[in-house]
Structures are given as structure tokens and as C-alpha cells.
Amino acid sequence: MTFDILMQAFALVFRLDVMAIILASAAFGMFVGAMPGLTATMATALLVPVTFFLDPVPALGAIVTATAMAIFAGDIPAAIMRMPGTPASAAYTDESYAMARKGQLDLNLGVNLTTSVLGGLIGVVILVLCAPVLAEFALAFSSFEYFWLAALGLTCAVFLATDNPLKGFVSLLLGLAIGTIGIDPAAGFPRFTFGSVELMQGVSFIPAMIGMFAISEILRGATAINAPSEMITQAIGNVFRGVGSTLRKYWVNFFRGSAIGVVIGALPGAGADIAAWISFAVSKRFSKEPEKFGTGHVEGIVDAGAANNSALAAAWIPALVFGIPGDSITAIVIGVLYMKGMNPGPTVFLQNPQLIYAVFIIFVLANLLMLPLGWAAIKSARQVLRVPQNVLIPMILIFCIVGSYAMTNSYYGILIMLIMGVFAFLLEQNGFPIAPIILGLVLGEMFEQNFMTSMIKADGSFLAFFARPIAAILGISTLAIWALMIWRVGIAKQPAPAQ
Amino acid sequence: MRVNDIVSGTILIAAAAAMIAYTRTFPSFPGQHYGPDLFPRILGVLLIIFGGLLVVRGLRARVAGAPLVSAPEWATRASGLVSVGLVLGVILAFVLFQNVIGFIPLGIVSLVGLFLWFGVKPLQAGLIGVASILIIHWFFSSLMRVPLPRGLLDPFL
């Protein structure tokens, strides 16, 4: 049985067209990740209009491959130009640059590449082992469990992913509120549509996301297009020299980083960038030589380089099993899954196990491909990084416009993109995080549906929300985090620092 | 534009109040205690509470001397404002005129215009602009079968 499914999955993946798409998205991911200012989330957002026209397996394969490459490629400009290619590399950008200044550019890039590949593989192994087991477990879940799970996920997103929980919560509520536009999930009444037929289906998700992640980024880039940067001029030699001995010396760091990455990634709402920050901090805290941190020391890079790639795969665990995104990339993936008619949740594992296994296979492939492609990216980094921002930004803008248009085949998609882009830009300028809005928008309908079903079942008795054992555990955990947050806001009486 | 939390909090409270008021127009169904207005109302109440907290925080910052509205660095430069205006203008132009003018002409004008403003050399800007629009058009229109508007070029395509 399992063997059959595995064979089907292999047949889905090992086809010429799928392989070609994976290779192309790998190159695309490397490029986007290596360009400072373009993030892995943005790579996903730009890919979605294309994946819309593909079959499920190549569509998911493109996203998996592009993001895995982008998270690694972000390390390259961090070391060469002191500019993280993606936020996931920001935690150790200064450390990497300091290493490069000391003449250890080769070692830095080699360690980054190797820990990315191995950390990514650990994340995939955990994903493959945990997801099916959890899915079986989740089959018994009712609306109460899903309600608390979504509540817990949304709470974690705010609690972990932002340094300003108050503004994070506001962003989340705004996302949920935007999600209420359209036909309501319980009674089928059109809400806040103001007579527009297009709004009945809700705010079109992909254009909204392109607006929030790409247009706001383009606006920011356009305001700082001629910002100077300094490239390290040191030639790149054999990047693998000394990597083996470094890993032998810091193998504990490698496994600790990967483990932290898996846990943070699997927690709903927090992804690769948070994993890198936390594992880097843990590395420094437990290091035998913490005084070396900041002077170009490789130890923390082993931790964080592994953590951000292992988080990427682990973020798919809650996304596939519960339909609750582990980070902003999987939030987009969930949107794609719905478009493909593969509603994420435990039943996908029963109905379409071959698709799930195909995704697993692509994950392994992508991480293996990262070694040669990453090496090639490092070797050609100097040429790639010379692509001027003033050519790139207008091109991405046109691509966003066409992509949004393609989602609705009308100007409506472009309009949604414009409105959400300006909205996100203004919010970000004022310190409101964007990721919780997307999570609210994606989870809104499921959250409300489970809430309404539970309310109707409980008929006003709030104790029913805690009557089932797993629901009770999830519910109490959620309430405990809320209490902790209120307490933190309560004791932090001093005015917020000016932004 | 950066505004003090008093302003953002007040806008939030107003928007949430409007949302709650609007839910009063939603129908209720006989025998159903919980209708389509319940969830938006809960969100509205929470937004008002958090908006109030933002106002309190903003007032504290104001007492400590923070300005009510401050312009970020790019907004103080004319070039920064023009850059943002151009990007938004191009998107708006596509919303308003793409059906009449068509993707290819509008795309070329927008792309070359942005290149020139951002300081790409004219010859380079023209070549890259025309080539990329044609490639994007081919990719989406022929390969992905997206009906990109032909506009002025309708008789020729």
C-alpha cells in the first residue's frame, strides 16, 4: 500500500517537465534570495501567478524549491555586502561580514551552504516522520480543537513574530476583519461587499498578498534606490576547505540549531527568520567563548545557518496537517492548496497521499540540489549582485501587475494589489507587522467557521469549549499565553520607544 | 508618513465602530442565536480595545515629546516622493487604461519611463524595456493563456 503510493509519488515527480520547473524555480529562488531587499516570501508571491496554471505537484515543487534556495542564497550578500538577502539571514549578517573582513569569506560561505543543506534535510526528515502521524491523530479533531488550534496559531504568530505584541494583535485583527468580506461561512450572507459581485468571494487572496509583500517592498526600494553599498573584493576560492573540521568541532551547535529551527518552524506563525535569531542568541548564550561573537566567529553561523533552513521545512507540518500556516510562506502555500482543490487538513493524507509524498520527495530533492546550485550561486555571486536595483525594481513592478491581473483576468486584481500594497506600506512605516495580516486573512474563514460551529454546538455554554481533553489542553495553553501577554503589557508601563 | 499612535488608534476605533454599525444591517435567522454579525462584532470590539490602548500609549509618548506626525527621510526629498508617486501612478494607469491602450504599449511606456527616472541610460532603458515587455507578454499571453488586453494593437495582433 505505502509502496504503491510512494511509486505513484515518484512517478509524479520524476517527469521531464516537473524537473525542468524545479530547476528553473531553483535558479529563480537563488536569484531572488541573493538580491538584497527581495525576500523568500516575495519569491513565493511572484511565483504564485505562474503556479496557478500548473498541476499541483509542479506548482508546490516550484514553491518548495524556490524558497529553500532563497533562504540559503540570502547568506551570500550578507557576507559579501553586509546586506542580508532575506530577513532569515539578518541574525548573523554582521558576524558573516566580520568573517569576510578577516579573510574567511570562503569558510563562511562554505559553512553557510553546508549547514543550510544538512539543516534543511533534518527539517525534511522531521516533516516526513511527523506529518502523517499527526494527521492520523488530527482525524479525531472536532470544531472545538480546530478553533483552539487556530486561536493558538494566531496567538503564537503575534507572540513570537513581533517585538510589539500590541501592534501585532492589531495587524492580526485587521487581517481577520478583511477576511470577513464576502459570503459568510455559516449562513451564506454577503458581508461588507457594498453590492460588488467581485467582493462576494472575498478579497482576492493572491493579488492582496502580492500587494502586501511585493508592492510595499517595491515602494520601499524605490525610495532608497541609490543607497551605497560596499562589496568585499576578496576572491572566492574553494568554499569547502575547512568546513568538515568546523562541523566536527561544532556538531552540537549544528544539531541544536536544526532542532530549534524545527520547533520554531512548526509553531504556527513563526518561520525561518525568527528561528535564526533565536538559535543565534542561544548559541552565544551557551558558547564557551561568547566574547568571540561579533568578531567574525563561525560558531553562531553553524547554529543559525542550520536553523533557518530546517524551519522552512518544519513550517509545512502544521500547514499540511491542520491547514494552519507555520510561516508567511506556508500561508501563501495554503492559499495555493485551496486553489488547487487540495484543502489542507488530515483528510488530504487519506485522499491524496501520493501528492503529500510527492511534496516530501521534492523537499529532499531541493535540499540535495542546493549543494551544486548553491556552489554555482556563490561562484557567480559577484556578477549576480551587480544587477542594478534601478532595472530590477521596475521589472518586478510590471511582473506584479501582470500576475495580479492574471488571477482575476480583470483590472480588479490590480486594484486589490494597489490598495493592499499602499495599506501595507503605511502600516509598516508605522511599525505594524505585515505577516499577521496575511495569517488573519488566510485563517479567517476557517477560524470563524469553527468558532460558529462550536458556538452553535455549545449553545452558549463556554465550558463546552473545554469539554474534550485535547480541546481543553489547547484552550488552556491559549488562555495562558493571553494571560502572559496581558501581564507583560501590564508591567511594561513605560512609553513605547519612538520608532 | 509616520503618525503618533494617537492618530492610528483613533482611526482604528472609528473604523471598528463603523464596522459594528454596519453589522446591524445583517439579517438574523429565526431559531439561530448566532448570525453572520457575531464574528465581525467581536473583532470590532477587540479592535476598539486595542485602538484605545494605542491611544493611551501615543498620549504617553506625546507627553514625552514625540511629534504627532513626522515625515520619514524619503518624504523630505522631492525625488523620494516622485519615485513613490511614479510607482503608484503606473499601477493606477494599468487599472484605468490597460483595456483601452493595451498591455504592450502601456507596459513599454511605463517600464521605460521608470528606468529613465531611476537613472538607467536611455539606450539601455529602451532596449531592456521593449525586450522585457515582449517576453512577459509572450510568457503570460501565449504560454499561460492570460487574456492580456490588446488595446491599440488589436488590429495587428
Instruction: Give the closest of A167, A174, A192 to B22, CB-based.
Output: A192
Cα–Cα distance measured from residue A364 to residue B115, given in angstroms and rounded to the nearest whole number: 40
Looking at the predicted structure, is the pLDDT value of residue A495 above 60?
A: no
B146 vs A405: CB contact, 8 Å cut-off?
A: yes
Chosen from A51, A174, A191 to mutate, greatest number of chain B CBs within 10 A: A191
Contact indicator for A319, A264 with CB cutoff of 8 Å: no
User: Out of A222, A399, A415, whose CB is closest to B83?
Assistant: A222
Would you say residue A499 has pLDDT above 50?
no
Q: Indicate the residue type of A393.
A: I
| Residue A490 confidence class, pLDDT cut points 50, 70, 90 | low
Q: Give the pLDDT score at B1.
A: 74
Closest CA relative to residue A110, chosen from A371, A383, A384: A371
Please give the residue of chain B at the shortest CA–CA distance from A399. Answer: B136
Backbone torsions φ then ψ of A283, nearest 5 degrees: -60, -45
Contact A100, A52 (CB under 8 A): no
Contact A187 B36 (CB under 8 A): yes
pLDDT at A498: 40
For the ranges A8-22, A143-157, A367-381, B34-48, which has the lowest average pLDDT?
A143-157
Distance in angstroms (rounded) separating the CA atoms of residues A105 and A102: 8
Tell me the chain A residues in contact with residue B44 when contact means C-beta distances shorter than 8 Å.
177
- A190's enclosing H/E stretch is strand A190-191
B91:A496 CB<8 A: no
- Which residues in chain B are contacts of A395 at CB distance < 8 A? 111, 132
Residue identified by cell 534601478 is: A390
Phi, psi of B70 (to 5 degrees): -135, 145
Q: Is the pLDDT of residue A217 over 90?
A: no
User: How many CB atoms sit inside 10 A of residue A494's CB?
Assistant: 8
Does the beta-carbon distance from B91 to A53 stay under 8 Å? no
Rounded-to-integer distance, Cα B142 and Cα B137, Å? 8
Percent of chain A with pLDDT over 70: 96
Which residue do the cell numbers 459570503 mark? Answer: A183
A30 pLDDT more than 80: yes
CB A105 within 8 A of CB A232: yes
List chain B residues with CB under 8 Å of A192: 19, 22, 40
Q: How far is A388 from chain B (nearest CA, A)?
A: 9
Burial of A415 (0-12, 13-18, 19+ CB in 10 A): buried
Domain positions in chain B: 2-70, 74-153
Instruction: Tell me if A495 and B64 make a contact (CB, 8 A cut-off).
Output: yes
Which residues pair with residue B127 across a beta bridge?
none
Beta-bridge partners for B2: B70
Q: Which residues pair with B70 in a beta bridge?
A: B2
Q: Give the distance from residue B84's alpha carbon to the nearest chain A alpha carbon, in angstroms.
A: 6
Q: How many CB pairs under 8 A join A and B?
A: 166
How large is the greatest C-alpha to C-alpha distance in chain B, in angstroms? 71
Model pLDDT for residues A410-435, shown as the tens digit of each residue: 899 999 999 999 999 999 889 898 88
3-state SS assignment for residue A105: helix
Which residue of B83, B91, B112, B117 is the best one to mutate when testing the A interface, meaning the one whose CB has the most A CBs within 10 A? B91
Q: For B90-133, what is each residue's pLDDT tens digit?
A: 999 999 999 999 999 999 999 999 999 998 999 999 999 999 99
Q: Give the integer Cα–Cα distance in Å for A232 and A104.
A: 11
User: What is the structure's pLDDT at A160?
Assistant: 66
Estimate the share of chain A in helix, then strand, then coil, as percent rounded to the nearest 5.
75, 0, 25
Beta bridge partners of B3: B69
Q: Using alpha carbons, select from A45, A60, A71 the residue that is nearest to residue A212.
A: A45
**Taking a C-beta distance cutoff of 8 angstroms, is the pair A191, A184 a contact?**
yes
Residues A289-305, buried b or exposed e (16+ Cβ, 10 A)?
A: eeeebeebbbbbbbbbb
The alpha-carbon gap from B152 to the nearest alpha carbon of chain A, in Å, equals 17
Contact: A170, B38; criterion CB under 8 Å: no
Name, in order, each residue with C-beta under 8 angstroms of A233's C-beta and a sequence gap of 6 or more.
none
For residue B72, list its beta bridge partners: none
- Indicate the Cα dihedral angle A247, A253, A254, A259, nearest 10°: 170
State how far residue A27 is from chain B, nearest Cα, in angstroms.
Answer: 17
Residues of A in contact with B91 (CB under 8 A): 215, 397, 401, 414, 417-418, 421
DSSP string covering A449-477: HHHHHHHHHHTT-GGGGGSSHHHHHHHHH
Closest partner residue to B50 (CB to CB) among A173, A388, A426 is A173
Contacts of A23 (CB under 8 A, 6+ apart): A369
A418 contacts B92? CB cut-off 8 A: yes
Q: What is the mean pLDDT of residues B32-38?
A: 83
Higher pLDDT, A41 or A301: A301
How many residues appear in chain B? 157
DSSP type of residue A214: I
Beta strands at A190-191 and A182-183: parallel, antiparallel or unpaired: antiparallel
Which residues of chain B from 61 to 80 reach within 8 Å of chain A, CB to CB? Answer: 61, 63-64, 66, 72, 74, 80
How do residues A153-187 score in pLDDT, each as one tens digit?
Answer: 888 777 766 678 889 899 999 999 999 998 888 77
Instruction: Quote the pLDDT of residue A497.
Output: 43
Q: Which residues of B touch A215 (CB under 8 A)?
A: 87, 91
pLDDT at A115 over 60: yes
Read off φ and ψ for residue A190, nearest 5 degrees: -75, 125
* Confidence bin at A259 (pLDDT 50/70/90): very high
Strands (E), chain B: 2-3, 69-70
Task: Copy the grid coordinates of residue A337.
Answer: 492548496
- The answer to whether B10 faces chain A, any CB pair under 8 Å, is no
Question: Is B141 touching A (CB cutoff 8 A)?
Answer: no
From A53, A191, A398, residue closest to B111, measured CB to CB: A398
